[in-house]
Amino acid sequence: ISEIELLDILSCNNEFFLEYYSKDLPKYLRFPPSLWIAIKYMLGPLLTERYFDLKVVICWSHSFIRRHMKQKYLKRVEDIRIAHRDIANYFLEAFIESKPLIDMNRNVQIRGDNGRRFILQQPLLYSEVAYNYRRLSELWYQLMHSGDIDRLKEYTLCCFEYLLSKIHGLSIEQLLWEFDIICSNILDADILLVQATLKTITNIISSNPMLLAGEIILRLKNIKSRYNEHIESLYVQAHEWCESCNTPVFVPLSSWISTIPPMTITILPCNDCVYKITPTTFNQHVFCATRQNEIAMYHIPSKKLVKKFTSHAGLITSIKLTYNSKYLVSASLDRTIKLFNLNSGDLENTYNIHQDDILCMTVSHNNEHIVTGSRDRLIIVLRLETGEIEHSIEQHTDAVTGIALTQDDSILISGSRDQTIKRWTFRGMQLLDIIDTIGSPIKHMIISADDTFIIIACDDTSVQVKSLVTGSDIHRLEGHTSEVTSLSISQDSICCYVGCVNTYVYVYNFRSRLLLRTLTHHDSPVTDLYVSADDCFLFSAAENAIHVLNVKQQFNGFPNDDPLSTQNAITSLSISREGDVAIAGCAAGIVRLYNLIDGELTEQIVEHRAPVTQVALSHSYLFSLSGSKDTTVKVYDNEMGEIVTEFTEHSASISHLRILEDNRKILSSDEQNYIKTWWANTGELIDSYNVPCKMLGVSPDGKYVVSGNADNILKIWSLDDARVVRSIDHTEGKITCIAFRSDSQYLITGGEDCSCKLWELSSGKLTQVLVEHEQSITAVAISEDGKHVLTGDKDGQAILWSFVDGAVVHKLLRHKTAIVFVSLTTDGNIAITASQDGLLSVWSTITGTYIATFYFNHTVVKLNVSQSGIRFAAILQNTPCVAMLSLFNISSIDAGKMAQRHSQMFSDTSNTILPIKPKPLLYPKDASMLTDSRHNSKTDQIVVEPILVS
């Protein structure tokens, strides 16, 4: 650390002030500069200065001096953590406003403002254009080594502003490197989730950090509730940043991608054959009993062997941690119980209470008792700290192989090779009842965390589920055929993990009997399983290794469907004219309505017998339409909540649906080229036409229909009398897309001949040809005011044209694959383009620069945009979710100014406007840092130059 930082940290040390100032404390709580000068002079040969991290920092002059100082002053782990905690508090500005200074012996009680420390402020941002790089570089490291995982997540790894500052000010690669270091020191499900999220979006946000918030919202929305409050907080912070950001940003309203961290976190190799395991409460260490009669303690993230406990003379059959993490208790075939003190690492007690092998053991939840079962049929209850035997009972007729206590320590369950389970009152050990319907010797037994179920594994390989309350049979878990070696149950009492001799671990929903998954990560027989107390991790032991698996999202009691192979994929989509409602149909024949304001499913309204092919919403949201491969069109009254009409005049799959301008008539077409018009309220047929209609469009006023066979010819005909106005032709290629001007006077067509043609609808007259593209046209749009045309081609180029003279206004060059959608907002200031590879871009039509972008991370099949350009809904290839987005901070801001500010954020890195707003300093820069808060008289006030940082 630098000299000024060292003085600041010393100024926060209460022990120094109380020791140094034996009588009166100084006016200003700051380490005396004169004392530091003296200390520096005395330590002169031991210190040196080096240039590091843009600062001159103080270091020990030689490595042996550093080692000596560490050995003398930082010998204990707790001392090291306190040192790192103090430095972390400094960068968190924990004591600028106040740090109480109390010594009851001297009657010193300084609290509140009087405890203010006169030290340098360390905000995350110094100004709108300057990060505090020292805080960005140091805070995570100090918090990690302080051992305070919650604060590490709160202020760095799960703090959105910190992550964005780190990525924008340094790089995503730097941040991920730090995550790797943290994950080699700490095992935590939240940290692993954020790390996995950042890794999957590295390519996206490395070039544009502004996309971080949208990606976090997208990937955490559906899973945040399964994690701790830090993930929920990160999600909320990302959303709040989007709301307060000065530039337009896309915010996902639904989630079609969820981050799933890799299942295998780490593998601890063990050459001594692991037999039993138990992790510590916070999953940082694991104890494993080996076939060498030793207990090894490993630090899981670093895989380092911390300590070995050696005192047993026979195979260790059970190891348990007390619930207060004070003792490690082990039982062995040497007929002894060992009690190890985890604070000192010493053997505390040895209890010789059995005359035969101890096969099972448990510890009471109040940490007062140990209960054991042995080969000689005995169940013994003894005091944990004294070894005093309270009960010794022989009621089973064969070896006791399973012992378990309910959460409140009121009921004891015992299982035996005599094929029975007995329930006892733990206090008094009175036998309550016997379960004798098992039919095979019991090998292993556990009870669920909710004290509802008993799960037993037997010699005949069966795994049986019994009611703990009544003892009745519930069912058997079927799917494994090998001998069972271990059982474990998740804390939510849904999943049961079954380890077998065949090296497999079977994961069941033991309530429904469903086999969720078979884990095949071991290459030798599984010897023990343990699910962490927070249900985040599965520890599985085999003879040669311990595997640590992340099961937080993998198993929630239901089979994991592959979204890319689902039968529920969205097949049709439309949004209301107002942009507040979306309607979607899927391959399963179901039609659903969604609220586009918050992205929530409103209701499921219709079920067809075949996949839905077309959907539509009427003006003012009066009714909904859905057409299907079952040849029917259904009309759903949105107010009454029921189907009012089912149109059945088609005899082939529905290919197009249009609600005409009067909001009463419907135009529908099918794959046999029949176009029918009919009344929405009754389903009564008005007219039927047999014309080519693979491509079909209806003018906004409902007077003209344009249809064709998806070739180079389209026909314009009047809907009133079916009179063909004119046939239009792209002579050198197929017509690929069409669009109408809002006043229904003009039609624009795009084709494979790389041109766009403008036609007068009433006469069919060709008025203009737009030629600039080098590839086939794939999308066209006309602005509401009729001044601009927007086109996109197969090569990813979008062009904005002047409708009046056909001149190119802007070339929009950002996409790499075919443009699938183009649109212009009602005011004409915003252009929207989307390409097949999932890139969505928003442009200023004034400047031609992009002002917002988003990656769907899937192939885009169809995109719908509200007229205001704020709400978006998309069909993504083979996904069962409607991708819904909202564009924030665009409605009341001039598009040209937005583009200018967006450019400022990324063009000049030496004077970049940061994407985060600096928070007000705790004390303004122009205020003296040494204003006396405990002496208010004018004669006591002195003027001192403020401490500033560059």
What confidence tens digit (pLDDT) does each residue in 132-179 have?
A: 998 999 999 999 999 999 999 999 999 999 999 999 999 999 999 999
φ/ψ bin of 335: left (φ > 0), alpha (ψ from -120 to 50), beta (otherwise): left
Q: What is the pLDDT confidence band of residue 560, given thresholds at 50, 70 and 90? A: low
b/e 60-73 (16+ beta carbons within 10 angstroms → b): beeeebeeeeeeee
> Minimal CA–CA distance to 456: which of 441, 472, 478, 434?
441
Strands in 514-519's sheet, in edge-to-edge order, are: 484-489, 495-500, 505-509, 514-519
Q: What is the pLDDT of residue 932?
A: 40
Show the tokens assigned to 841: 């871009």
Region 711-737: mean pLDDT is 86
Q: What is the pLDDT of residue 910?
A: 46
282 contacts: CB under 8 Å, gap ≥ 6: 149
Q: Domain map of the chain by residue range? A: 3-246, 273-436
Q: To the nearest whole percent, how much of the chain has pLDDT over 90? A: 73
Residue 239 pLDDT exceeds 60? yes
Coil, strand or helix: which one is 621? Answer: helix
Largest CA distance in the chain: 107
* DSSP classification of residue 575: E
Region 408-416: mean pLDDT is 96
Reduce the secondary structure of 33-60 to three states and give it as a string: HHHHHHHHHHCHHHEEEEEECCEEEEEE
Residue 928 pLDDT exceeds 60? no
> Minimal CA–CA distance to 453: which of 516, 504, 509?
509
624 contacts: CB under 8 Å, gap ≥ 6: 583, 591, 593, 605, 606, 615, 616, 617, 618, 635, 636, 638
Other beta carbons within 10 Å of 743:
14
> Minimal CA–CA distance to 874: which of 889, 864, 859?
864
Q: Tokens 């009012």 label which residue? A: 644
* DSSP classification of residue 187: -
Q: What is the pLDDT confidence band of residue 484, given thresholds at 50, 70 and 90? A: very high
Distance CA(902)–CA(916), nearest Å, equals 13
> Minimal CA–CA distance to 793: which of 762, 769, 768, 772?
772
Residue 926 pLDDT exceeds 80? no
Range in 87-101, 339-353, 472-486, 617-631 with the lowest mean pLDDT: 87-101
Q: What is the pLDDT of residue 120?
A: 86
Q: Can you give the length of the chain in residues? A: 950
> Minimal CA–CA distance to 24: which of 929, 937, 934?
934
Between residues 902 and 553, the one the model is more confident about: 553
Q: Tokens 């004034």 label which residue? A: 846
Other beta carbons within 10 Å of 860:
22
C-alpha separations of 664 from 667, 705, 872 in Å: 10, 17, 26
Are residues 140 and 177 in contact, defined by beta-carbon separation less than 8 angstroms?
no
C-alpha separations of 278 from 285, 343, 365, 668, 677 in Å: 9, 17, 16, 66, 71
Strands in 724-729's sheet, in edge-to-edge order, are: 695-698, 704-708, 713-718, 724-729
C-alpha separations of 509 from 477, 692, 735, 821 in Å: 9, 54, 54, 44
Region 195-205: mean pLDDT is 95
Residue 461 pLDDT exceeds 90? yes
Residue 845 pLDDT exceeds 80? yes
Residue 527 pLDDT exceeds 70? yes
Other beta carbons within 10 Å of 152:
27
> Minimal CA–CA distance to 820: which of 798, 803, 842, 802?
798
Q: What is the pLDDT confidence band of residue 894, given thresholds at 50, 70 and 90? A: low
Distance CA(274)–CA(304), nearest Å, equals 16
Coil, strand or helix: which one is 188? Answer: coil
> Minimal CA–CA distance to 516: which of 496, 546, 499?
496
* Protein fold of 273-436: Methylamine Dehydrogenase; Chain H (2.130.10)
C-alpha separations of 302 from 196, 267, 487 in Å: 19, 10, 27
Chain centroid to CA 910: 33
Q: What is the pLDDT of residue 908?
A: 46
Are residues 174 and 249 in contact, defined by beta-carbon separation less than 8 angstroms?
no
Are residues 823 and 809 in contact, defined by beta-carbon separation less than 8 angstroms?
no
Are residues 601 and 643 in contact, defined by beta-carbon separation less than 8 angstroms?
no
Distance CA(872)–CA(596), nearest Å, equals 8
Residue 65 pLDDT exceeds 70? yes
Range in 109-118, 337-346, 494-503, 909-918 with the lowest mean pLDDT: 909-918
Average pLDDT, the chain: 89
Are residues 358 and 335 in contact, defined by beta-carbon separation less than 8 angstroms?
yes
Distance CA(787)–CA(810), nearest Å, equals 14
Residue 949 pLDDT exceeds 60? no
Residue 937 pLDDT exceeds 60? no
Show the tokens assigned to 905: 């954020």
Chain centroid to CA 366: 36
Q: DSSP labels for 458-480?
A: ETTS-EEEEETTT--EEEEE-S-
Region 794-803: mean pLDDT is 95
Strands in 850-855's sheet, in edge-to-edge order, are: 819-824, 830-835, 839-844, 850-855
Distance CA(757)–CA(288), nearest Å, equals 76
Sign of the torsion formed by the C-alpha atoms of 911, 913, 916 and 918: positive
Show the tokens assigned to 424: 């006892």
Show the tokens assigned to 36: 């530091």
Q: To the nearest whole percent, how much of the chain has pLDDT over 70? A: 93
Rg (CA), the chain: 36
Q: DSSP labels for 501-520?
A: TTS-EEEEETTTTEEEEEE-
Region 423-450: mean pLDDT is 95
Q: DSSP labels for 338-378?
A: EEEETTT--EEEEEE--SS-EEEEEE-TTSSEEEEEETTSE
- Quick one: which H or E segment has residue 333? none
What confidence tens digit (pLDDT) does each residue in 361-411 have?
A: 999 999 999 999 999 999 999 999 999 999 999 999 999 999 999 999 999
* DSSP classification of residue 117: B
Q: What is the pLDDT confidence band of residue 755, given thresholds at 50, 70 and 90? A: very high
